[in-house]
Structure 1
Amino acid sequence: MISSHGRSYLEKLNRYLEKLPDTERQDAVMEIESHIAEGIANGQPEAVILSRLGDPRRLAKAYRSEHMAERMSVKSFKDLLTMIGFYCTTGLLSIMVIPVLATVAYGFGFCTILIVLAGILRTFGMTWINMNIGPGMEVPANYSLLFSAVVGAIVGGIAYFSWIGLKKYLAFLSARYRRSLPGGRSVNY
């Protein structure tokens, strides 16, 4: 029922899905194969069906995006790095936005911990820790904890909102790719 052109499309899709686990890759190829066969059975020309499906590389990215979005619920750092690496290949804007948001989120988050820790240590006598507001304006030791809490809250807020922005941007990209899948699957976050 499916022509050699359709089989070639499925082979390319299978090749582009090589980074997915075998069962998911096979399920995706079978889904597209049944989508093509169903369309042909309903009287649609195979060329029209393949044209609607689009480039097999882009369709494979949609399936990989769906896989990434499902793994995102695990929320491990490794999964996040995998997702960031995948989405950085999606376009020029992503190459700039994702690393900046990730760096700010994690870098400022780490700095928040250091700032609060420094305030606690300085309050309890570690006077070698400097806390300056400006040239010649040092924070008195008895205000170190309050000062570090305020600065830590500001820096932590920046980290938190960068993290939220990163998650929303990744969800946006996932949703965009999912619309490429047959039936335009909805995104549930």
Structure 2
Amino acid sequence: MSPMGEKYIKKLYQHLRQLPEEEREDAVMEIKSHIVESVRNGRKEEEVLAKLGSPSKLARAYLGDFYVRESSMHPLFLIKALLLYVTSGFLSLIFIPVLGMLSVTFGIVSIIIPILGLLRTFGASWIQMNLTPTYEVPVLLSFPFALLVALFLFGLFWICWKALRGYLTLLSSAHRKIILSSHVR
């Protein structure tokens, strides 16, 4: 194995420090034999290392697999996971579709409104912009008014999108915490 391959294996070993020593050695030996076997079969070592990805990402995959294997049957894990999925499952039925639809709707409308304002400015009389039942936006102000409305709607889109991403991140971090806290050493 070349110095580049040895350096890769050394970094992988360092990133696997959270694993028990036996698991760590097994993972490193598995990757080392994969590299050697691939080179023996005619592939370039650089190509094999590129396919494996960075040592840190590969180590995270091994760590994740280990945590799931070790934690999935632990009673505390099962209780915490059940509580997470029951409570978040009901909320997810509401939050995810509502925030998703609102963000998509606000995003699309924030694109369409300036186009309609521009069309109205240049003579599309079928487009109406009424602020109240008795007051209509003057034709020359249609585009600037549409831009203001579009900016407001884009702000709502951004808020809904961030809320949706935040909720999904919260769920995934809660799931990760359950797995990590139930890890049996």
TM-score (norm 1): 0.54
Structure-2 residue corresponding to 1:160: 158
2:131 pairs with 109, 130, 133, which one? 133
Percent identity over paired residues: 32
1:1-189 mapped onto 2 (5 Å cutoff):
31-33=67-69, 35=70, 50-54=74-78, 58=81, 90-182=88-180
Change (3 A) 1:158 1:31: closer
Size of the aligned set, in residue pairs, is: 122
1:146-178 Cα offsets, whole Å, 9 max, x none, are 110111111111111110111111101111000
Distance (whole Å) between structure 1 residues aligned to residue 75 and residue 86 of structure 2: 26
Q: CA RMSD in A?
A: 3.5
Distance (whole Å) between structure 1 residues aligned to residue 65 and residue 158 of structure 2: 39
Distance (whole Å) between structure 2 residues aligned to residue 175 and residue 150 of structure 1: 37
Contact 1:53 1:182 in 2 (8 A): no
Which structure carries more helix by proportion?
2
Change (3 A) 1:137 1:183: same
TM-score (norm 2): 0.55
Distance (whole Å) between structure 1 residues aligned to residue 136 and residue 176 of structure 2: 54
Shift of 1:179: 0.5
Distance (whole Å) between structure 2 residues aligned to residue 92 and residue 53 of structure 1: 20
Change (3 A) 1:114 1:163: same
Contact 2:103 2:160 in 1 (8 A): yes
Q: Which has the larger radius of gyration?
A: 2
Change (3 A) 1:107 1:184: farther
Distance (whole Å) between structure 2 residues aligned to residue 88 and residue 98 of structure 1: 15
Q: Does the residue aligned with 1:91 lie in a helix, a strand or coil?
A: helix
Structure 2 residue runs without a partner (length 5+): 1-60
4+ runs of 1 displaced by more than 3 Å? 25-33, 87-90, 182-185
Structure-2 residue corresponding to 1:7: none
